[in-house]
Amino acid sequence: MSSGVASSGVASSGVVRSGVVRSGVVDDSSLSPEDIRQMRLRRQQLRAPYAGGPGDVVRNLLAVQSQEFPYARWTLAQRSSANAASMVTASDVEQAVADGTILRTHILRPTWHFVHRDDLGWLMGLSADRLHQGNKGMYRQTGIDEDAAAWSGRILAAAVADGDHKTREELAEVLGRAGFPSKGLGFIYHLMHAEISRVLVSGSPIRSAGGALKQTYALFEERVPGTALTPQTSEGREQSLGWLALRYFRSRGPATIKDGAAWSGLTMKDVKRGIQVAHHISPGSLDTIEISGLDYYLAAEEAENLAGGGHPSAAEDRTLPRVDLIQCYDEYVMGYSQSRHFLGGTAPYLPEDNGPMHVVLLDGRLAGWWRHGFFGGACQLDVRMNRPATADEQDALETEVERYGRFLGMEITLA
Taking residues 43-59, what's their average pLDDT?
A: 96
Q: Give pLDDT, residue 21.
A: 44
Compute φ and ψ for 288, nearest 5 degrees: -130, 140
Q: What is the pLDDT of residue 213?
A: 86
Radius of gyration of the chain (CA): 22
Q: Band of the pLDDT at 210, cuts 50, 70, 90?
A: confident
CA distances for 317 relative to 87, 185, 321, 346, angstroms: 21, 51, 8, 27
Q: Are the beta carbons of 277 and 238 closer than 8 angstroms?
A: yes
Of 241, 198, 208, the closest CA to residue 106 belongs to 198
Query: How many residues are there in the chain?
Result: 415
The secondary structure of residue 414, as a DSSP letter, is E
CB atoms within 10 A of CB 21: 21
The pLDDT of residue 154 is above 90: yes
Q: What is the pLDDT of residues 221-264, one digit of tens each?
A: 999 998 877 788 999 999 999 999 999 999 999 999 999 999 99
Give the model's confidence band at 180: pLDDT under 50 very low, under 70 low, under 90 confident, else very high.
very high
Mean pLDDT within 171-187? 98
Return the SS3 of 112.
strand
Encoded amino acid at 155, one letter: I
Q: Tell me what pLDDT residue 31 has.
A: 82
Kindly give the residue spans of alpha helices, DSSP state H, lying in 203-267. Answer: 220-223, 234-252, 257-264
**Interatomic CA distance for residues 308 and 326, integer angstroms:** 32
Residue 29's pLDDT band (boundaries 50, 70, 90)? very low
Q: Where are the domains of the chain?
A: 323-414
Residue 289 belongs to what H/E stretch? Answer: strand 286-291
Please compute the mean of the pLDDT values over residues 263-270 and round it to a whole number. 98
Q: To the nearest 5 percent, what fractions of the chain are helix, strand and coil?
A: 45, 20, 35
* For range 297-304, the mean pLDDT: 95
CA distance 176 to 317: 59
Greater pLDDT, 115 or 348: 115
Residues 156, 160: Cα–Cα separation, whole Å: 7
**No. of helices (H) and no. of strands (E), the chain:** 16, 17
Residue 158 pLDDT level (bands cut at 50, 70, 90): very high
Q: Does this model's pTM top 0.85? A: yes
Contact between residue 138 and residue 189 where contact means Cβ atoms under 8 Å apart = yes
The pLDDT of residue 27 is 36
The secondary structure of 145-171 as a DSSP string is -HHHHHHHHHHHHHHHTTT--EEHHHH
Output the furthest CA–CA distance in the chain (Å, rounded): 71
